[in-house]
Amino acid sequence: MNRLEKPRADEVAITRLAYSDLPSVLSIERRAFTTPWSLAMFVLELSKPSGVCLAARRGGQLLGYLVCSRYADVWHLMNVAVSPERRRERIATMLLTRMFAELGPDARVTLEVRPSNRGAIEMYEGLGFRAAGHRRGYYHDNGEDALIMWLEPAPFAG
């Protein structure tokens, strides 16, 4: 599909997340997480000019989203969520792949994930992220630690 063609209704389109998406984002967020972000948190991230905020849509319906912020020379993947009924359709992988394309090949990316979230960890590992430590008691709802993961650019092979 070239850039001028509209995606077919059954295709997932990755676009910029917009303020008008926030009601749908909050609906997914509340179903996806035990400690969901507030509206104010999403507004703050969308207002940052250096951030990457993406939406996955099919037929005009929001299926998932991603929020990534830049801190100095490191990108922090802050939030990725897919509507619970649309999980295991590779939507999060599509969002991350688009994020990588926007960040470029030299980007350093970090994230935190619950160690109990094996599906997410396997997806991140499949995309090249590696475990690099823990943050003790990171998750406020149950005191679970966070697994810190990093994606580093490939070393120069020349």
* Longest Cα–Cα distance in the chain: 49
Dist CA 89 CA 57 (whole Å): 12
What is the pLDDT, as a whole number, of residue 155? Answer: 64
Rounded Cα gap, residues 4 and 15, in angstroms: 14
Q: Please give the pLDDT value at position 141.
A: 87
Pull the structure tokens for residue 71.
């801190």
Q: How far apart are CA 69 and CA 57, in angstroms?
A: 21
The pLDDT of residue 116 is: 95
pLDDT number for residue 2 = 43
Q: Mind listing the pLDDT tens digit of every residue in the chain (158 residues)? A: 444 445 555 799 999 999 999 999 999 999 999 899 999 999 999 999 999 999 999 988 999 999 999 998 999 999 999 999 999 899 999 999 999 999 999 999 999 999 999 999 999 999 999 999 999 999 988 889 999 999 998 765 44
Q: Annotated active-site positions, please?
A: 112, 124
**pLDDT for position 3:** 44
| Predicted TM-score (pTM) of this structure | 0.89
Environment class of 65 (CB within 10 Å of its CB; exposed 0-12, middle 13-18, buried 19+): buried
Closest CA to 18 of 43, 37, 40: 43
Amino acid type, 50: S
Give every CB contact of residue 80 below 8 A, 6+ residues apart in sequence.
Answer: 64, 65, 66, 67, 92, 95, 96, 120
